[in-house]
Amino acid sequence: MIRVIAFRLLQFPLVLAVIYLTTFMLVWVVPGSPFGRAERKLDPIAEQAMKERFHADSWKSFLAYYPIQVITKGDFGRSMQYQEWSVTDIIKVSLPVSVTLGIFALTIGTIFGVMIGTLAAVNRGGLFDWLSLTIALIGISIPSFVVAALLLATFTGRFGLFPIGGCGGFREMVLPAVALSLAPLAYIARLTRISMLDVLGSDFVRTARAKGLSRFTVIWKHCLRNAFLPVLSYLGPAAAATFVGSFVVETVFSIPGLGQHFVNSVKNRDQTLILGTVMIYSVFLLTFNLLVDIAYSFVDPRIDITAKSSS
């Protein structure tokens, strides 16, 4: 396993380099300038001076400066829009907010998704099974920003149960986390239900019941452990999708997370901030996928992540 982990870690720099260059190419070809405004154009001489200051006067100058700074110092440079702030400082302040929100949402989606999927499989064809399928369909079909807008209008405007904006406490995170968790909850519920239906028909389940084990122990201890593997496969991409989905949700709820800065950087064509946020989210995606592969061997020791032939 150590060799597999080491090999995957050695792949990270190459993958991140490809992501950096691809993102830079897409950002660079977009028309417009990060130093001016649509309603007020910057003086050409001043704009040229700003481009030289940020090494953005040509693509060669940009790539000759920033990648070296990122590799040697971990510095993405200064934001072209918030010039008094460096991209690294913005990430340090806003990333913990997004991570907290993402973990909260993924926890809600995983716990309730597994519970709903398991109960639906146990009560196959019953009322709860049909309700779970309806919830899954709604969760998959409705975008998170629509759910966020509905929750915002219902629980903050009319009833005033939750505050709007900020990240100071639990109450500020509840509605954004619920909005983000609905999609992964729906997928996890469907995966758990399908996998549990397959496991419940296995021979070891009948054997466990014949030995006198309680129905609760058989379902929640033995069956769920085997049925959880497809869910575990989904958690890596789901974690990254939850963080990416927070872009719009953070904007809707006025949460000062990294997603809000990413949205603003795209609108303002802030090249350094776009690259910084994309690289951070890419690191999260690669890390989550690696952790999922490692977790396989702990959930089911029969799985060999080294993919060696048994012959």
Domains assigned to the chain: 97-258 (1.10.3720.10)
Residue 169 has pLDDT above 80, yes or no: no
pTM of the model: 0.79
pLDDT in tens, 198-217: 888 788 888 888 888 888 88
Closest of 250, 138, 130, 249 to residue 187, by C-alpha: 138
pLDDT in tens, 267-279: 888 899 999 989 9
Tell me the pLDDT of the chain averaged across its residues: 82
Residue 98 corresponds to which tokens in the numbers above? 């997004």
Query: Would you state the pLDDT for residue 44?
Result: 78
Number of alpha carbons in the 13 Å side-chain half-sphere of residue 280 = 27
Query: Would you state the pLDDT for residue 311?
Result: 45
Higher pLDDT, 59 or 241: 59
Average pLDDT over residues 154-183: 75
Residue 157 has pLDDT above 70, yes or no: no
Residue 264 corresponds to which tokens in the numbers above? 């603003």
